[in-house]
Amino acid sequence: METIVVALGERSYPIHVGPGLLGNAALYGLKAKQLLVVTNDVVAPLYLERVQAALAGHEVATVVLPDGERQKTLTTFATIVDRLVDARFHRDSCLVALGGGVIGDLTGYVAASYQRGIDFVQIPTTLLAQVDSSVGGKTAVNHTRAKNMIGAFHQPIAVLADTDTLRSLPPRELAAGLAEIIKYGIIVDAQFFAWLEEHIDELMALDAATLTYAIRRSCEIKASIVAEDERERGRRALLNLGHTFGHALEALGNYERWLHGEAVSIGTMLAARTSLALGWLDAGDCERIEKLLKRGGLPTRATGVAADELLDAMRGDKKADRDGLKLVLVEALGRAVVARAPAEATLRGVLAAELE
Amino acid sequence: METIVVALGERSYPIHVGPGLLGNAALYGLKAKQLLVVTNDVVAPLYLERVQAALAGHEVATVVLPDGERQKTLTTFATIVDRLVDARFHRDSCLVALGGGVIGDLTGYVAASYQRGIDFVQIPTTLLAQVDSSVGGKTAVNHTRAKNMIGAFHQPIAVLADTDTLRSLPPRELAAGLAEIIKYGIIVDAQFFAWLEEHIDELMALDAATLTYAIRRSCEIKASIVAEDERERGRRALLNLGHTFGHALEALGNYERWLHGEAVSIGTMLAARTSLALGWLDAGDCERIEKLLKRGGLPTRATGVAADELLDAMRGDKKADRDGLKLVLVEALGRAVVARAPAEATLRGVLAAELE
């Protein structure tokens, strides 16, 4: 097991990475007696029993939601709050999020809001959640017209990234997690990117040591950026490489066509191509990015999407301000920057060429 | 005009107190261009125009809600969020809460949650909101079965307490505000309590200078406690004197029988009587409290409520934890403490005697 600490003063917390963590009660860091485990109907049959065994001695209630992004709404949020009120959960109780990003984001936002904030523990069971959504305290639910529009910054008290849970993950979801891992290399760590080029096949084969290293390094990078800029006033925005394009694609695909990581993969390529068109990134690096994403089993192009509809969908992005859209662009492997989007004609040109 | 600063590091902000502030654009401290003013149908006809005039040069949208506590729900919260999404409000936009505690708490919670947090300005137009709810960053909506169950700590960027707005306040609402002002004296400032005994009649007559001093001193006390303990881990709980009883009474009265300040007045007397029964407070101080509340036009007894139903309603309180109920009790005028509730028999005895 490896442990990374997210250094945020009194809100600091550990991320534990490795096999066999679910059953280790000490890692949960619990002071609370009243616990509510929130999970879904895919994860519950696989891991809920093990978690409940680890929590023996506490008063444990459980909410099992249907699987899927459709649950990440204010309506489901209200349902969980009802459960907490009905069971008279106190301010010193704790939530446990057992599942992927949807469960983590939703449960985290309930924890942020119930009685103005109670503790919660993240147990991410997808690669995407282990390397991204469970780290850094971003919680949210979706609005019908925009993802993650309603939320809070609320840090968990501990994160347990149990690599054993990845064995039950469908290959498409594994690839979706790889998209975020590759992103860390592109934005700040060219060496890690090169390491990924060497080890991508072992990762895809779920080699335990390789997996643990890749998750640890991803969490380290994210933790250090979050520690510097918890509320995304500056540097943290780098983590959104590919996400402005990606969120817009997800919306256009009705949140069904692409998984988040797949949309981020396509978005990362669009950011890379835009950087290339601006003369910031050289063609060789651009190709290395595309090749690694493809080897990770990820899509790099969005067929059947018109440049104009994508541009329009992007304008509602959270990173837009009154002066217009901002994008994360790439100057070189390991060096991304937040920049004003280029002139619309330039951007439309890149998109038209890419989207076909 | 007097200005108090709530010292919270990078979240510090000014509270301006005095007459004629609404029209003073500079006091709003705005950087945002996109603004949404949230107000209600009682306040809007009186003050909205003046606020809009002060905000000329910004893009200003407005939401006018029906008046009343019934609006403080997750449903209304969602309606305001819809407006923000529809109008493509960005992360650098700002909300303006123009009204009493309901408008302030609700608007503040929207500001805390929209895109995980945007700026907001508080313009409290009731005495209660000017001395209490607009200061300190507590925002929330009600759950059907418990007040303020869903919320966040989110500080405004400025508070404008314009004493002119109190001239339109019904006498019952003015008295409700006095309950919180008297509370500050009881919990930490015996001298202020004595000053109130001398000046209560001028306050009731809305004498401008007396009003400005009472509001300023109340905000000073609240600001200093909040600066010490923003998230209510300790000392901030003193501000809840009378509130555990009060919230339970409000619920039992279906949020219609008593205004919040009236319920707090009765609750403060119940806390004082409990303190007396425990031998902590002497009879003379207990009487001074009752006399001042009465002179302020406030109820001090809840007729027709059974001790057991009140006790039961109190158990769902946010200040309860797994070891039971906590109460703010009074050791002497100017010295309150947070304590475990006394044995149920003692408490029931006090309540039975008081509630009749």
Mean pLDDT over each residue of chain B, to the nearest integer = 94
Nearest to residue B231, comparing CAs of B99, B159, B162, B139? B139
Cβ of residue A326 closer than 8 Å to a chain B Cβ? no
Tell me what the mean pLDDT of segment B80-94 comes to.
Answer: 95
- Interface predicted TM-score (ipTM): 0.90
Task: Tell whether B151 and B275 lie within a shared domain.
Answer: no
CATH code: domain of residue A90: 3.40.50.1970
CA distance B296 to chain A (A): 31
Inform me whether the pLDDT recorded for A320 exceeds 80. no
Task: Tell whether B206 and B151 lie within a shared domain.
Answer: no
Nearest to residue A303, comparing CAs of A244, A248, A253? A253
Tell me what the mean pLDDT of segment B138-156 comes to.
Answer: 93
Inform me whether the pLDDT recorded for A356 exceeds 90. no
CA distance A256 to B33: 36
CATH code: domain of residue B350: 1.20.1090.10
Taking CA–CA distances from A314, the nearest residue in chain B reads: B88
Which of A140, A167, A194 corresponds to the end of one domain? Answer: A167
Number of domains in chain A: 2
Size of interface A-B (CB pairs under 8 A): 95
Query: What's the pTM?
Result: 0.91
Task: Tell whether B12 and B82 lie within a shared domain.
Answer: yes
Which of B152, B167, B182 corresponds to the end of one domain? Answer: B167
Task: Tell whether B211 and B63 lie within a shared domain.
Answer: no
3-state secondary structure at position A153: strand
Task: Tell whether A269 and A125 lie within a shared domain.
Answer: no
Tell me what the mean pLDDT of segment A205-210 comes to.
Answer: 92
Q: What percent of chain B has pLDDT over 70?
A: 97
Q: Which residues contact A76 (CB under 8 A, 6 or more apart)?
A: A65, A106, A141
**3-state helix vs strand vs coil in chain B, percent to 5:** 50, 20, 30
Task: Tell whether A194 and A55 lie within a shared domain.
Answer: no
- Alpha-carbon separation of residue B271 from B244, B268, B343 (angstroms): 9, 5, 14
Instruction: Report yes or no: A39 and A55 within 8 Å, Cβ to Cβ.
Output: no
CA distance A153 to A144: 21
Q: Whole domain around residue B255: which residue ranges?
A: 171-355
At residue A354 the predicted structure's pLDDT band, cuts being 50, 70 and 90, is: confident
| 8 Å CB contact of B150 and A321 | no
At residue B322 the predicted structure's pLDDT band, cuts being 50, 70 and 90, is: low
Task: Tell whether A287 and A231 lie within a shared domain.
Answer: yes
Cβ of residue A92 closer than 8 Å to a chain B Cβ? yes
Tell me what the mean pLDDT of segment B203-210 comes to.
Answer: 93
Angle CA(B136)–CA(A322)–CA(A277) in degrees, nearest 5? 130
At residue B301 the predicted structure's pLDDT band, cuts being 50, 70 and 90, is: very high
List, as one string, the DSSP characters of A11-53.
G-EEEEEETT-TT-GGGG----SEEEEEEETTTIIIIIHHHHH
Chain A CB contacts of B85 below 8 Å: 143, 145-146, 149, 316
| pLDDT tens figures, A336-345 | 999 988 888 8
| pLDDT tens figures, A61-97 | 999 999 988 999 999 999 999 999 999 999 999 999 9
At residue A140 the predicted structure's pLDDT band, cuts being 50, 70 and 90, is: very high
Three-state SS for A75-105 is: HHHHHHHHHHHHCCCCCCCEEEEEECHHHHH
Task: Tell whether B119 and B214 lie within a shared domain.
Answer: no
Task: Tell whether B162 and B238 lie within a shared domain.
Answer: no
Nearest to residue A113, comparing CAs of B145, B316, B154, B247? B154
Inform me whether the pLDDT recorded for A316 exceeds 80. no
Which of A132, A149, A167 corresponds to the end of one domain? Answer: A167
Amino acid letter, residue A129: A
Task: Tell whether A318 and A202 lie within a shared domain.
Answer: yes
Inform me whether the pLDDT recorded for A328 exceeds 80. yes
Residue B319 has a pLDDT of 65
Inform me whether the pLDDT recorded for B344 exceeds 90. no
Task: Tell whether A232 and A345 lie within a shared domain.
Answer: yes
Q: Which two tokens stand for residue B288?
A: 């001074």
| 8 Å CB contact of B152 and A152 | yes
Residue B337 has a pLDDT of 95
Task: Tell whether A180 and A295 lie within a shared domain.
Answer: yes
| pLDDT tens figures, B214-253 | 999 999 999 999 999 988 888 999 999 999 999 899 989 9
Inform me whether the pLDDT recorded for B320 exceeds 70. no
| 8 Å CB contact of B117 and A231 | yes
Tell me what the mean pLDDT of segment A164-177 comes to.
Answer: 95
Give strand pairing partners of A59.
A34
